[in-house]
Structures are given as C-alpha cells and as structure tokens.
Amino acid sequence: MPVARLRHRTAIASTRPPDNQDARARMLPTALWPEWALRLAPWHASGKPVARRADELLATACLLVGNTTKIHTAVRLMGTTVSSHNVSSLLAELTRRPDCADVLHALVLLADHLDQHGSPIDYARRRALFTPRAHFIAPEHWHDLQRRTRANHLPDITHAHRWIFHTLTGTPPRLAHPAIAPTTSSQGQQYLRFRWRILPAEAELLTQTARTILDEHGIDEPVQWAPRLAPAVLRPLTLPGPDPESVTVDRLHEAVPVGDFSIAQVAQRLNTTTAHVIYLLSRHPVDWSPPRFRRTQHTASRIGQWRTWYEHDHLSLQDIADCEGTSLASVRLAFLKNDVRIRPPGTFARRRRQE
C-alpha cells in the first residue's frame, strides 16, 4: 500500500518502523509549498491536474512519512478538509504513473529535512492566529496604490486580503474566514489570475503589510519560506513537474509582453507548462503595464521625494521636472492626483525679493 510505503519509508533505503511524528505538522503549510507542489503534483496529458487540491494532499502525505498517525487525524492536524480517501487515491495514482516514480522518495526527503533542520515558520501558530481573521490590509492603503498605478480594472481588495492570508499561513484562501474565502469556482480562478497578474508595486505593498502583521504579533519569522534540497539529491529522481528554477527571471521578463497577454502564450515561448509560468509570475511579478502606466508607476514611487523637494526645499515644478527628466505637466498632474497644494507662480521669487 502506498500509505504503508510512506509510513515505513520504503521509498528510500533507510527503512524503519514508524513512530509518532505529529510535531512535523507545525512545520508544514496546509498546502505544500508552491515550488514543491509544482514539482510533485501529477498532471494529465491535457494539461489538467490529476487531482483537485493536490497541494493539500501532498502536504498531508508529507506528514504521514514515518508516522503512525491515521490519515484522518493527519488531515485535521494540517487544517485541511480533504478526505482520507482522496489522500489514498492520490498516493495510489503516484505509484501507478511512470513519470511519478520518485514522488514518494521526494516526500521522504522533505520530511527528513524538516525533522533534521526544522522550519523557521510555525505554521500551526499562524493557522490558529490568522484563519479567524477577515481583514489584513487597510482599504485606504490598497485603494491609494490602485489609484496611482492602474487606470481601470482595479483588483478587488478581497484578493489582497486573500493574498496576505495565503502567504502568511500557506493555507489556500478557500479555508480562510468566510468573509474573504472564495465560494465559487469563478472566484477561485479570479484569485489565481490576481496572483500571476499582480504588479511589483502591489506585491511590495502586500509583503510589507504581511511583515507588519507578524511584527504586531511579536513573530520573528520570515514572511514565507520553503525548504531546499541539494540539486544532486533531486537530479536522479523521476518527478512529474519541472524544476521551478529552470527558467530564469530574466527569461521570464523577456517572454511577458506589454499589456494583456495569455498565460498559455508565455508558457509556449518558454517551452514549459502553464502551471510553471503561473508559479514564476506569482513569485517574480512582472510589470506588464503599457508605457503610460509604467510612467504612472514611476511617478508613484517618486511622489514622496517630489513633495519633499517642493514643500521643504522650495524647488519649483520646473526644477523638479528637470531633475527627473520628465515634463512640467507630469509633475503638476502628479501633485494634483496626490493632493499636493500647488503654489501660485513666482511665490518664492517674490518672497526672496521682499527679504
């Protein structure tokens, strides 16, 4: 039985009787880390996943390695709602498929790595703290960024709440507080699109907010983390998914066109799967904005400095435009959009003459 192979570690040479390994649940996210789920989850030839919620099933399977705990207890410890039958079915599928010959081996390696080195994140604590929480970012902060970086199709703030919950806990948003959990397949797809269409400025704001939330709870941990195994250990293994790092960030950014684009088109350019591209864009956001919106985003990043120059150093609009290599109209428009009170022309020249 595949479950017995995990419990007794027969997928690798170090076979031994199982014992209680429930403490590992604190070191595991509810859904296996995205880079590992990409590598270990099986897919149909059509490009569709073999199992729904495979990342949650794989995380539960990792807890079962060398563990006497029953599957339904492991499911509860992981904070997921998958069934014991689904866990067993996925493991059986993995043992039947030639492209998944070493997935159980990789799960044992991951479990051993956690048992030996631990994890810098206590996922159980985060699940307990943040699953009852419905809001993670102040609406005024999110809407202010949107106003300055996008002209239309503004993402719903609910996606921002979901992103922070998902990032902090490693738990899919479907298991979040009902106020932010997607309730339909369409909402789930919209959140997935939000993850790979996110702009760098948006990802930076959400990451900073997540860091602040951890600090407020006195949690001195990284915002997110994933275990790394030596490439030499993984290289001989037969796994269904691509190496997440086989596409460089530079290649990714070159492959993404400006403006709207198809995820399948980018996958074809990179000669990889859509799941791989979605993972890469989620981890390394690309500024796909048309040129005029890129200028808007540059302005958003510089408006604080411009305000200081204008209000405290008394530079003129033209002085600021010359310093930044932009137009006087762009500086004036940026100040109007950001509620900077514009002085009447010649104000400081008249004041200097009077002095």
What digits encode the pLDDT tens for the residues 249-287? 999 999 998 777 889 999 999 999 999 999 999 999 988
Instruction: Give CA–CA dist 325/163, Å, rounded.
Output: 36
Confidence band, pLDDT 50/70/90 cuts, at residue 346? low
- Mean pLDDT for the stretch of residues 177-206: 93
* Per-residue pLDDT, 151: 57
- Mean pLDDT for the stretch of residues 105-122: 96
Full-model pTM: 0.82
Q: Do residues 147 and 337 lie in contact, with contact meaning Cβ atoms separated by under 8 Å?
A: yes
Q: Do residues 227 and 110 lie in contact, with contact meaning Cβ atoms separated by under 8 Å?
A: yes
Neighbours of 14 (CB within 10 A): 10
| Range in 124-133, 158-167, 169-178, 344-353 the model is least confident about | 344-353
* Per-residue pLDDT, 201: 85
Higher pLDDT, 263 or 155: 263
* Per-residue pLDDT, 233: 92
Tokens of 143: 């809407």
* Per-residue pLDDT, 147: 74
Q: Reply yes or no on whether the pLDDT at 109 is more than 90.
A: yes
Confidence band, pLDDT 50/70/90 cuts, at residue 22? very high
Q: Reply yes or no on whether the pLDDT at 153 is more than 70.
A: no
**C-alpha angle with apex 107: 226 to 132, nearest 5 degrees?**
50
Q: Which long-range contacts (CB under 8 A, 24 or more apart) does 86-89 make?
A: 86/51, 86/53, 86/57, 87/3, 87/57, 87/60, 87/61, 88/2, 88/3, 89/51
- Residue 286 phi/psi, 5-degree rounding, is -115, 135
Tokens of 116: 């030996």
Q: What is the pLDDT of residues 88-101, one digit of tens each?
A: 999 999 999 999 99
- Mean pLDDT for the stretch of residues 119-142: 96
Query: Dihedral of CA 87/93/94/99: which sign?
Result: negative
